Amino acid sequence: MYKDSTVYIVGHGKTSSDNAITSNFKIFFIGFVIDTQTDLVADLECSATIDITNRFVHDLFLGKSFSQYDPEVEKELARRYFGSSQKAIITAYKDAIKKYTEVKEKYYQTALFK
């Protein structure tokens, strides 16, 4: 399903105690499939309790670059997403960027990223 040049990175963020995500999952997760040749998000899914939330978050991040943190992504989230987990999504995005950067730096010299 995914090219050999993709990796799977999970970012997480806390949601408020009254959020359904907290009740179901304890924490908010976004799993990103990232193409290491282009640094672009090839696919993603999040731990939302409502399917439309998952689809909306998918639409916001699909095709975005993970080469570095992009404040425009955060601005777009703030402009378009008004669910109670907005801050958790931003935190999960930042966490995933950090993890992807670490993975890419660690394995950059190997065949994984060539």
The pLDDT tens digits of the residues spanning 8-66 come to 999 988 765 554 444 555 678 999 999 999 999 999 999 877 899 899 999 999 999 99
Q: Give the helix/strand (H/E) hosting 100.
A: helix 86-107
Which is more confident, 114 or 70? 70
pTM to 2 decimal places: 0.85
Q: Tell which residue, 70, 58, 69, 50, has the closest CA to residue 33.
A: 58
- CA dist 43 and 64 (Å) reads 10
Does residue 9 contact residue 106 with C-beta atoms inside 8 Å? no
List of domains in the chain: 6-113 (3.30.390)
Cβ-contact 80, 72 below 8 angstroms: no
What pLDDT digit, counting tens, does each position of 100-109 carry? Answer: 999 988 876 5
* pLDDT beyond 90 at 79: yes
**Angstrom distance (rounded) from CA 42 to CA 27:** 23
